């Protein structure tokens, strides 16, 4: 018994933390007591209150309202103020707000009050609607007046209350004009609130204020702006839920199917499927939605698009899949139409029965045949057995082909689709012996028709080959058919298909001279295109054939029409991928018309060029299509380690950030995936990171040297710098990397970049130019590693030297920030950095001697932050070189110093490299270092290289390695 008396009863937290407390002093019939009692009951509910509880609460509050409207209004406002002031308890506050909104719903649903014993008729005015408008206006005015306060919780609660009240009002309730304007003026600023949750609630609050009858409605315009630019994913989703559907808003809603966030894209397809009928969409918009949705990388977005196609779209098409496929127009959107057909086939949409035979043939359509092909591609063997009844007979299809090709103006697309269907039916063993004979006769007859379209010839070859069990006999028949053909286009089309079906067939190679080359020399662009396709396929089968015709393909890639050039460029990259990029020598003839003269090496050629140089020319092209194709080709070659050219890698970075390629979605996606996997997931990622280091300064200097008004001049150099440094960041290396020399080198990549950046800062001529600011800011993005204390000491020494040499205030500030980070990584920060010994080593480089020997500080240790400004000499005194310091150098140092005495000359790099090479005591490595720094100090060739002229590998190898041959790589 005592144990029961001593038991502790759990406290009810909802009593202690209730937002609304029942008034004990007010009479039980008063409005305040009724309101607090009903809202307290709602907030005590363990979960979200259901409709029954809310209706009961609303009815009781309506009775109290009609009993005394003025007292009820004052009491409701008093309770609302209590909710606004509470910052936490989101769930409880939401329950109370729903209870308040239930009152407005019930009071507007029945404007005639119900009388009870406590309600007198005198308390009811003759105009109940006027009373309702008064309390709604008074209450909402009181709430929205507090929407602009500094407290974020109050701003959030006001938006929630306005949203709940307007949402519970019936659609037939007309708000007064003054209240409408007040809500618009008060809530629109909240859509730009700095708190995302406030913006989200504000959007829901004013969605009722949209008016699409005019094009300048402020709420609609604000929604159209926020749906694309708001940084919060939840806010964009809220706009999608709230925006009204109209011809003005549909394009913006469709664009959200390309949002960066998966949730927004998925919701966009759900909104389009549920609210926008397919008849309201243009043909271009339908094709766009299908292409983006069914091709999305997210499975959830793909599923949402499939549900849109197989749900609302199919229902709007009277559940007829053929009618829905027709609404995509196969002739204009073949790819998207086929995607829809496959989607409908997977959803087991039932096709109509096979068409009947008419007087002149069969009644077939491209959409019907396409849908049958989709069933064959997507159905399982068990499903094919049940669906075989919907397929027409082979005899019927062959008769349709004969009927189509017999017309003067045949339907080429329908004939091609029927031939493809026959091919797939043969593959799935849906052709009887009698049907096989008919197919062979029909395809053989097609090869003899002289005026037939080449697309039909190409589509007729696969079923003809599939039905021949003896491959050698089939080849003999096809070769004989080729010889008998008079039409060059038919010959090329047949040869192209034969090469694709059997690339290793050596019997086709002798046909190059007799079939392919005449097509390439023809004036008809379609025939030349087919000839180039044939030549590219046959060159892939044999390296000797590729060697003989590589010159022809390179000339075609430079001088033919745009479409043919792209095919030839792709062929060159395919040859490099298949046979190796360094195995070909291209003969360049002075006669540019050699493309029409011969297929072999041009007779009388006066110049040769490597395949890599030719391909590099295309990646620097001014034509977007050519540049995109070449960039994608180089990305594939470099990812497969078939080429390791830092210059090309740098150009790919430039292309990736160039505004000229911003609209090329395929190229942007290709390069974004390439750079990330190339440096972080590839098996040779450590070697690839070193190539990023080599091309770093090339890329930066090309951006800084871009002419004003060009596309590259608008690129943010710091964004590119940060991107490149992130690719080689030691933090991106996996934790389980093996302990080898390559991993150690990769971990120190940012340490080496720090040394290179500071070296370039020291050697920069223009102290107020953009390069010194970019290099100094780049130091802040580095992730230094403290495992190599020697490099940390070198970096500290270099920073100390740079602080004494440069006069750029912004660069000095960045160096001060950077040196504090370096000191924290130094295991012995109290040790003095041996700058004297360090400077003695760098004196051998004339370019650095000019910058360093003028700094005559008595204390040659690293200055601290307090004394940097006092120890740094004026820039005008740095260029003087004392004779005592010059006499203390070695023989090579003396000659180097003497050659650099004329520091104001514009030919520094020539004199420095000449003096270094003439000095007998200097080593070859020192000579390389001097020439590199002189090039960096002077005008680098990369700075003046235009986009269309990319330097060759031999020209840029020295410049790309410039940072790695740093004076700080030698230990003091």
Give one DSSP letter per residue of 578-628, joined into a string.
Answer: HH-TTS-EEEEPS-GGGGGT-SSSPTT--EEEEHHHHHHHHHT-SSHHHHH
How far are the Cα atoms of 345, 372, 710 from residue 380, in angstroms, in the given order? 11, 14, 56
| CA 648 – CA 688 distance, rounded (Å) | 13
Contact 344, 325 (CB under 8 A): yes
pLDDT in the model for residue 109:
79
Contact 328, 286 (CB under 8 A): yes
**If we measure between CA atoms, which residue out of 242, 246, 306 comes closest to residue 270?**
306
Higher pLDDT, residue 79 or 124:
79
Contact 275, 312 (CB under 8 A): no
- As a whole number of angstroms, the longest Cα–Cα distance in the chain is 120
- Would the pLDDT of 803 be above 80? yes
pLDDT in the model for residue 938:
36
Q: Which segment of 202-206, 400-404, 527-531, 914-918 scores lowest on mean pLDDT?
A: 914-918
Angle at 431 between CA 427 and CA 435, to 5 degrees: 130
**If we measure between CA atoms, which residue out of 232, 288, 222 comes closest to residue 258?**
288
Res. 621 pLDDT band, cuts 50 70 90: confident
pLDDT in the model for residue 959:
37
- Would the pLDDT of 887 be above 50? no
- Would the pLDDT of 462 be above 60? yes
Contact 257, 264 (CB under 8 A): no
| CA 694 – CA 727 distance, rounded (Å) | 13
3-class state of residue 529 by DSSP: helix
906-945 pLDDT, tens digit per residue, is 334 343 333 333 333 333 333 333 333 333 333 333 333 3
Contact 919, 911 (CB under 8 A): no
| CA 467 – CA 470 distance, rounded (Å) | 9
pLDDT in the model for residue 940:
36
Three-class SS of 504-527: CCHHHCCHHHHHHHHHHCCCCHHH
**If we measure between CA atoms, which residue out of 903, 901, 906, 896 comes closest to residue 926?**
896
Which are the contacts of 644, defined by CB distance < 8 A and separation ≥ 6? 638, 687, 691
Which are the contacts of 284, defined by CB distance < 8 A and separation ≥ 6? none
DSSP code of residue 10: P
- Would the pLDDT of 435 be above 90? no
DSSP code of residue 148: T
pLDDT in the model for residue 21:
61
- Would the pLDDT of 300 be above 90? yes
Q: Which segment of 22-26, 502-506, 849-853 scores lowest on mean pLDDT?
A: 849-853
Pairing between β-strand 585-588 and β-strand 607-610 as defined by DSSP bridges: antiparallel
Res. 311 pLDDT band, cuts 50 70 90: very high
Give the chain's mean pLDDT.
77
**Six-digit token pair at 338?**
């086929």
3-class state of residue 856 by DSSP: coil
- Would the pLDDT of 362 be above 80? no
H/E run at residue 825: helix 809-825
Res. 956 pLDDT band, cuts 50 70 90: very low
3-class state of residue 281 by DSSP: coil
pLDDT in the model for residue 831:
64
- In angstroms, the first-to-last Cα distance of the chain is 87
**Six-digit token pair at 896?**
């180097």
The residue whose two tokens read 């009775």 is 63
Query: Span 568-588, mean pLDDT?
Result: 84
pLDDT in the model for residue 615:
86
- Would the pLDDT of 216 be above 60? yes
Query: Span 693-714, mean pLDDT?
Result: 90
Q: Which segment of 9-23, 235-249, 809-823, 891-905 scores lowest on mean pLDDT?
A: 891-905
- Would the pLDDT of 387 be above 90? no
Contact 770, 803 (CB under 8 A): no
State the virtual CA torsion across 806, 807, 811, 813 in degrees, nearest 10: 120
DSSP per residue, 388-451: GGGSPPHHHHHHHHHHHHTSSS--HHHHHHHHHHHHHHHHTT---HHHHHHHHHHHHHHHT-TT
- Would the pLDDT of 207 be above 90? yes
Q: Which segment of 91-100, 106-115, 847-856 scores lowest on mean pLDDT?
A: 847-856
Query: Span 148-160, mean pLDDT?
Result: 91
Higher pLDDT, residue 735 or 372:
372
- Would the pLDDT of 577 be above 70? yes
| CA 775 – CA 391 distance, rounded (Å) | 69
Contact 903, 933 (CB under 8 A): no
Which are the contacts of 687, defined by CB distance < 8 A and separation ≥ 6? 644, 742
| CA 520 – CA 550 distance, rounded (Å) | 14
Q: Count of CB atoms within 10 A of residue 781's CB?
A: 16
Q: Which segment of 264-268, 475-479, 653-657 scores lowest on mean pLDDT?
A: 475-479
The residue whose two tokens read 């390179």 is 554
- Would the pLDDT of 99 be above 80? yes
pLDDT in the model for residue 111:
55
pLDDT more than 70, % of the chain? 75
| CA 842 – CA 889 distance, rounded (Å) | 11
pLDDT in the model for residue 369:
92
- Would the pLDDT of 566 be above 90? yes
State the virtual CA torsion across 132, 133, 136, 137 in degrees, nearest 10: -150
Angle at 42 between CA 37 and CA 46, to 5 degrees: 135
Query: Span 765-789, mean pLDDT?
Result: 88
pLDDT more than 90, % of the chain? 30
**Six-digit token pair at 67?**
């009993």
Query: Span 560-578, mean pLDDT?
Result: 92
Which are the contacts of 576, defined by CB distance < 8 A and separation ≥ 6? 584, 611, 612, 615, 633, 637, 642, 643
| CA 290 – CA 254 distance, rounded (Å) | 11
Return the half-sphere exposure (C-beta side, CA atoms, 13 A cut-off) of residue 339: 20
pLDDT in the model for residue 911:
37
3-class state of residue 103 by DSSP: helix
H/E run at residue 934: helix 924-937
Q: Count of CB atoms within 10 A of residue 491's CB?
A: 27
Helices 749-763 and 924-937: crossing angle in degrees, nearest 10, is 60
Higher pLDDT, residue 533 or 495:
533
Query: Span 264-282, mean pLDDT?
Result: 96
- Would the pLDDT of 398 be above 60? yes
């Amino acid at each position: 018994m005592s144990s029961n008396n001593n038991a502790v009863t759990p406290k009810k937290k909802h009593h202690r933390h209730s937002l609304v407390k029942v008034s004990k002093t007010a009479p039980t019939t008063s409005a305040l007591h009724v309101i607090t009692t009903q809202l307290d009951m709602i907030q005590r509910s363990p979960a979200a209150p259901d409709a029954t509880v809310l209706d009961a609460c609303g009815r009781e509050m309506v009775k109290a309202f009609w009993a005394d409207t003025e007292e009820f209004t004052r009491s409701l406002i008093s309770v609302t103020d209590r909710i606004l002031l509470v910052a936490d308890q989101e769930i409880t506050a939401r329950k109370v707000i729903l209870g308040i909104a239930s009152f407005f719903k019930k009071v507007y649903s029945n404007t005639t009050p119900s009388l009870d014993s406590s309600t007198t008729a005198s308390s009811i005015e003759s105009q109940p609607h006027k009373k309702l408008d008064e309390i709604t206006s008074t209450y909402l005015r009181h709430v929205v007046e507090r929407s602009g306060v500094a407290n974020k919780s109050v701003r959030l609660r006001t938006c929630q209350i306005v949203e709940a009240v307007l949402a519970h009002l019936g659609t037939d309730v007309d708000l007064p004009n003054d209240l409408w304007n007040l809500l618009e003026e008060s809530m629109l600023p909240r859509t730009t609130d700095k708190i995302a949750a406030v913006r989200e609630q504000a959007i829901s609050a004013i969605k009722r204020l949209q008016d699409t009858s005019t094009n300048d409605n402020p709420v609609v315009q604000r929604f159209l702006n926020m749906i694309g630019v708001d940084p919060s994913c939840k806010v964009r989703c809220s706009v999608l839920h709230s925006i009204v559907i109209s011809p003005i808003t549909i394009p913006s809603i469709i664009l959200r199917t390309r949002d960066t966030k998966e949730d927004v894209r998925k919701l966009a397809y759900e909104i389009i499927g549920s609210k926008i009928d397919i008849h309201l969409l243009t043909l271009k918009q339908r094709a766009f939605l299908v292409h983006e949705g069914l091709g999305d990388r997210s499975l959830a977005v793909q599923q949402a698009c499939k549900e849109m196609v197989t749900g609302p779209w199919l229902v709007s098409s009277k559940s007829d899949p053929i009618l829905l496929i027709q609404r995509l127009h196969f002739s204009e959107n073949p790819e998207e139409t086929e995607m829809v057909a496959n989607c409908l086939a997977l959803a087991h949409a039932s096709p109509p029965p096979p068409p009947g035979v008419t007087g002149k043939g069969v009644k077939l359509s491209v959409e019907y045949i396409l849908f049958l092909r989709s069933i064959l591609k997507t159905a399982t063997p068990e499903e094919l057995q049940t669906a075989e009844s919907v397929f027409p007979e082979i005899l019927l299809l062959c008769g349709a082909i004969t009927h189509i090709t017999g017309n003067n103006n045949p339907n080429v697309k329908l004939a091609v689709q029927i031939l493809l269907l026959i091919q797939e039916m043969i593959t799935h063993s849906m052709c009887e012996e009698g049907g096989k004979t008919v197919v062979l006769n029909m395809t053989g007859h097609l090869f003899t028709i002289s005026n037939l379209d080449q697309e039909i010839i190409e589509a007729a070859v696969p079923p003809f080959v599939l039905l021949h069990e003896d491959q050698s006999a089939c080849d003999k028949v096809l070769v004989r058919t080729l010889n008998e053909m008079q039409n060059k286009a038919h010959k090329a089309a047949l040869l192209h298909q034969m090469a694709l079906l059997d690339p290793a067939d050596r019997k086709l190679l002798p046909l190059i001279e007799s079939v392919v080359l005449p097509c390439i020399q023809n004036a008809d662009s379609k025939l030349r295109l087919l000839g180039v396709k044939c030549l590219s396929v046959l060159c892939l089968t044999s390296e000797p054939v590729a060697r003989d015709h590589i010159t022809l393909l390179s000339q075609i890639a430079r001088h033919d029409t745009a479409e043919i050039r792209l095919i030839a460029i792709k062929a060159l990259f395919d040859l490099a991928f298949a046979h190796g990029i360094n195995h070909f020598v291209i003969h360049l003839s002075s006669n540019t018309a050699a493309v029409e003269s011969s297929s072999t090496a041009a007779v009388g050629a006066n110049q040769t060029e490597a395949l890599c140089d030719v391909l590099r020319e295309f990646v620097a092209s001014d034509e977007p299509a050519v540049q995109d194709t070449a960039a994608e080709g180089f990305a594939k070659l470099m990812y497969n380690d078939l080429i390791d050219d830092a210059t090309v890698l740098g150009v790919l970075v430039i292309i990736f950030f160039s505004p000229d390629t911003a609209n090329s979605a395929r190229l942007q996606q290709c390069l974004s995936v390439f750079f990330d996997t190339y440096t972080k997931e590839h098996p040779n990622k450590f070697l690839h990171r070193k190539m990023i280091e080599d091309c770093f300064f090339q890329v930066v200097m090309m951006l800084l040297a871009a002419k004003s008004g060009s596309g590259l001049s608008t690129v943010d150099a710091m964004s590119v710098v940060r991107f490149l440094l992130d690719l080689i960041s030691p933090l991106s290396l996996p934790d389980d990397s093996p302990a080898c020399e390559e991993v150690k080198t990769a971990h120190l990549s940012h340490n080496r970049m720090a040394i290179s950046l500071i070296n370039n800062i020291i050697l920069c001529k223009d102290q107020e130019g953009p390069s010194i600011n970019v290099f100094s800011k780049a130091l802040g993005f580095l992730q230094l590693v403290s495992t190599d204390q020697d490099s940390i000491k070198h970096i500290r020494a270099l920073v100390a030297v740079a602080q004494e040499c440069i006069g750029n205030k912004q660069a000095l500030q960045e160096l001060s920030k950077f040196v504090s980070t370096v000191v924290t990584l130094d295991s012995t920060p109290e040790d003095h950095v041996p700058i004297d010994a360090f400077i003695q080593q760098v004196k051998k480089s004339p370019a650095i001697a000019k910058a360093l020997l003028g700094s005559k500080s008595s204390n040659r240790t690293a200055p601290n932050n307090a004394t940097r400004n006092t120890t740094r000499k004026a820039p005008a005194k740095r260029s003087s070189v004392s004779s005592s310091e010059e006499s203390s150098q070695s023989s090579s140092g003396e000659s180097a110093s003497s050659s650099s005495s004329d520091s104001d000359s514009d030919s520094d790099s020539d004199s420095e490299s000449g003096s270094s090479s003439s000095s007998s005591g200097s080593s070859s490595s020192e000579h390389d270092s001097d020439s590199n720094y002189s090039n960096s100090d002077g005008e680098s060739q990369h700075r003046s290289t235009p986009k269309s002229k990319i330097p060759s590998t031999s020209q840029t190898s020295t410049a790309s390695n410039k940072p790695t041959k740093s004076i700080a790589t030698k230990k003091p």
